[in-house]
């Protein structure tokens, strides 16, 4: 359907870049923690400029219950199944961080109006696997693994849930967590038999909000973990120390032969680059260091809080955000050891550089983003996590989140806010909601892995 072969995805990253332009976007929007007693939902957004509904929410799929805190999501299948004609990229798996439920959503039967296909019950996941606090979803050939940040009582390090392609619980995926203290994001690169995982904190630590002092008490992460992917166990730790406080998102280059990857250390606001050296050793270095910025009301300068990171499908550009500062940046990573800043935009943030974008007051700062496969359009949302939003941007409760579109220059570098697109989640029918992660029906820049 979306490639040259028979299964889902594309034969290669360069084929993915040539895919048709996205016309729909699926974005999570939450009411958890807002005081509005309504379920979180999956919004379908029309992003076809030819459509009369362009830049609008055209459908809302409410979850069955209240208080899930939907956060990240992932597909049931990606390019890792490209050769399997029996597989299709049909289902989005959407975990609730607080409820522990995994919602399996059918996006293929009616792409404009997705429907709930199945619920993997959160209580059952706890009783069968002793896991809670789901985060990253990756398909794995035809099966699925999901990282969880805690055990059933919210204590670290959690582990990995293995679901089969019918979305039944197989059990724990990993054979061992080794001495890993915390979990969060992960990405794998099969040709190097490697998986890299990062560290946020135990659910009992991060869910109630952020106490800065707990970083010093070692309740937050500062390591990356290298796994033997086939043996399903960690084999080495990269201790990042002060350079890598709260290492969150991990991304490998899309090129399946590459061993280069990146992690954004949120609190240090650094990009960590890792790679396998010629003598087969895993190395790391800090390649980007965002300075803290002074603020008249703050006793100490504001850290950027680099909560996410994304690599364009052609592996040419790295995108990062500074949630508290309010800027998005584009770096040319043709030489991954020496990134070159090529673009920057401002939207919201605490430094007051762009409080209003396209006529809408921006509560929050740039936080989650998804890039089109051709690398030209980036959709950015502003909410991080309900309790953390409430600490840093309390006005988001009444103003809601915002989605902005950025035009990215893939030839010469550069970023510009698109003037024709803005989505104000403050005006949702049930009241202000907060938008978070986005996915496209045909695959995106944070899903596909090639075997």
Partner 1 sequence: MKKITIANRNNTIFKVKGTKPLLSELRSQGLDLPYGCQYGGCITCAAKLINGEVEQKSQVALNNRQINNGYVILCVARAKTDCTFDIGVESHDNLYRNPFIDPLAPHELKADIAILKDSINES
By CB under 8 A, name the binding residues for partner 1. 32-35, 37, 66-67, 69, 98-99, 132, 153-154, 203-204, 207-214, 217, 219, 297-300, 302, 387, 390-392, 394, 397
In sign, the C-alpha dihedral spanning 211, 132, 245, 242 is: positive
Residue (150 or 234) nearer to partner 1, CB: 150
> Nearest approach, Cβ of 159 to partner 1 (angstroms)?
17
C-beta pairs of 120-129 under 8 Å, 24+ apart in sequence:
120/163, 120/167, 120/169, 122/96, 124/169, 125/100, 125/161, 125/169, 126/100, 126/152, 127/152, 128/169, 128/171, 129/159, 129/161, 129/169, 129/171, 129/172
Q: For partner 1, which is the closer residue by CB, 84 or 211?
A: 211
Q: Which lies closer to partner 1 via its Cβ, residue 97 or residue 345?
A: 97
Report, in Å, the least distance between residue 303 CB and partner 1: 8
Q: Name which of 20 and 208 has its Cβ closer to partner 1.
A: 208
Handedness of CA 345, 347, 348, 352 (dihedral sign): positive
For partner 1, give the closer residue by CB, 253 or 350.
Answer: 350
Between CA 316 and CA 333 the distance in angstroms is: 5
Structure tokens at 172: 């724990």
Give whichever of 7 and 33 is closer to partner 1, judged by the CB atom: 33
Closest alpha carbon to 335 in 281, 251, 275: 275
- Considering the complex, what minimum distance in angstroms separates the CB of residue 209 from partner 1? 6
C-alpha dist (Å) from residue 368 to 281, 308, 381: 32, 6, 5
Q: How far is the CB of 66 from partner 1 (least distance, A)?
A: 7
Distance (Å, whole) CA 239 – CA 280:
18
Calculate Rg over the CA atoms of the chain: 20
**Separation CA 124–CA 152 (nearest Å):** 10
Residue 76 CB, shortest distance to partner 1, in Å, is 26
Closest CB to partner 1 among 110 and 391? 391
Least separation, in Å, of the C-beta of 124 and partner 1? 15
> What is the nearest approach in angstroms of partner 1 to the Cβ of residue 37?
6
């Amino acid at each position: 359907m979306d490639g040259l072969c028979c299964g889902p995805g594309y034969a290669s990253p360069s084929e993915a870049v040539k895919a048709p332009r996205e016309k729909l976007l699926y974005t999570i929007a939450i009411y958890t923690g807002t005081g509005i007693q309504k379920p979180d939902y999956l919004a379908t957004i029309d992003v076809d400029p030819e459509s009369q509904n362009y830049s609008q929410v055209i459908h809302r799929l409410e979850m069955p219950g209240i208080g899930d805190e939907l956060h990240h999501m992932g597909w049931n299948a990606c390019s890792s199944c490209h050769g399997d004609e029996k597989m299709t990229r049909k289902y989005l798996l959407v975990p609730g961080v607080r409820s522990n439920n995994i919602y399996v959503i059918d996006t293929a039967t009616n792409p404009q109006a997705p429907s709930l296909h199945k619920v993997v019950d959160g209580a059952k996941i706890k009783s069968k696997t002793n896991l809670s606090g789901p985060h990253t979803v990756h398909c794995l050939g035809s099966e699925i693994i999901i990282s969880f940040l805690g055990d059933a009582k919210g204590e670290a390090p959690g582990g990995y849930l293995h679901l089969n392609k019918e979305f039944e619980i197989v059990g724990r995926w990993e054979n061992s967590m080794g001495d890993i203290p915390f979990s969060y994001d992960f990405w794998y690169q099969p040709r190097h038999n490697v998986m890299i995982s990062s560290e946020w904190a135990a659910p009992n630590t991060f869910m109630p909000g952020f106490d800065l002092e707990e970083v010093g008490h070692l309740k937050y992460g500062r390591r990356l973990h290298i796994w033997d992917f086939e043996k399903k166990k960690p084999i080495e730790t990269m201790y990042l120390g002060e350079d890598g406080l709260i290492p969150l998102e991990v991304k490998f280059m899309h090129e399946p032969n590459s061993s280069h990857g990146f992690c954004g250390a949120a609190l240090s606001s650094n990009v960590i680059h890792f790679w396998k050296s010629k003598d087969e050793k895993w190395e790391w270095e800090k390649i980007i260091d965002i300075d803290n910025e002074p603020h008249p009301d703050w006793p100490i300068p504001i850290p950027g809080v680099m909560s996410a990171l994304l690599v364009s499908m052609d592996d040419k550009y790295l995108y990062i955000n500074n949630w508290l500062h309010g800027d998005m940046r584009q770096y040319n990573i043709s030489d991954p050891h020496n990134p070159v800043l090529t673009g920057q935009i401002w939207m919201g943030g605490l430094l007051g550089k762009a409080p209003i974008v396209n006529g809408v007051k921006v509560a929050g700062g740039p936080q989650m983003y998804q890039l089109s496969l051709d690398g030209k359009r980036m959709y950015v949302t502003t909410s991080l996590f309900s309790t953390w939003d409430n600490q840093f941007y309390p006005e988001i409760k009444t103003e809601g989140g915002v989605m902005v579109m950025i035009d990215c220059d893939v030839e010469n570098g550069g970023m510009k806010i698109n003037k024709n697109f803005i989505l104000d989640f403050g005006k949702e029918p049930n009241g202000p909601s907060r938008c978070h992660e986005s996915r496209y029906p045909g695959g995106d820049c944070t899903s596909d892995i090639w075997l």
